[in-house]
Amino acid sequence: MPRLTADRRHTVRFTLNGRAVEGEAEPRLLLVDFLRHVLGATGTHVGCEHGVCGACTIQIDGDPARACIMLAVQADGADIRTVEGLAPAPDRLSVLQDCFREFHGLQCGFCTPGILMSLDAFLRAQPDATEPEIRTMLSGHLCRCTGYVPIMAAALAARDRLKANPDA
Ligand code: FES
Ligand code: FES
């Protein structure tokens, strides 16, 4: 992490979806605002801004993390993945994204990037996750419009498809 001086901007460098990026950030700038406003990665959404709703969830060094309760300068040197990095190719969705599309696991879609980033990490770490375990994990994400039924259907389908083909 760079040595901080409160009254000036600092250069923050990290890997974003496999690409080296950098930008200037005041010490108080949140990581989620750095991603959106400095780097233009607007796929990560901002909801509650205090670590409750899960909308801002990204992956840092492979683990899900809330970008609204971390400062941009703390991410210096990290490997960051956002929803923009989920699809394996511009014309191909990931298995998880495809299941959300098929089961219509979204309505307004505001919560969806965060849920996808959590589920992606969760299903990789726990390929045999049970339905209650997936529900418990999803309880850390507040969705205002789906009632969670299609989200669960998509998550279960993704679990089964990834288990059958872990390299997909
Ligand atoms: S915006 Fe980060 S948890 Fe709600
Ligand atoms: S789909 Fe609208 S908040 Fe979740």
pLDDT band per the 50, 70, 90 thresholds, residue 67: very high
What class has domain 10-85? alpha beta
Taking CA atoms only, the protein residue closest to ligand 2 atom 4 is: 143
Instruction: State if residue 110 touches ligand 2 by the CB under 6 angstroms criterion.
Output: yes
- The model's pLDDT over 23-40, given as tens digits with 9 standing for 90+, comes to 999 999 999 999 999 999
Residue 115 alpha carbon to ligand 1 centre in Å: 11
- The model's pLDDT over 147-157, given as tens digits with 9 standing for 90+, comes to 999 999 999 99
Q: Where exactly does CATH 3.10.20.30 map onto the chain? A: 10-85
Taking CA atoms only, the protein residue closest to ligand 1 atom 3 is: 51
CATH 1.10.150.120, applies to 95-164: yes
- The model's pLDDT over 77-129, given as tens digits with 9 standing for 90+, comes to 999 999 999 999 999 999 999 999 999 999 999 999 999 999 999 999 999 99
pLDDT band per the 50, 70, 90 thresholds, residue 132: very high
The string of DSSP codes covering 12-78 is EEEEETTEEEEEEE-TT-BHHHIIIIIS--TTS--SSSSSSS-TTEEEETTEEEETTSSBGGGGTT-
Residue 50 alpha carbon to ligand 1 centre in Å: 6
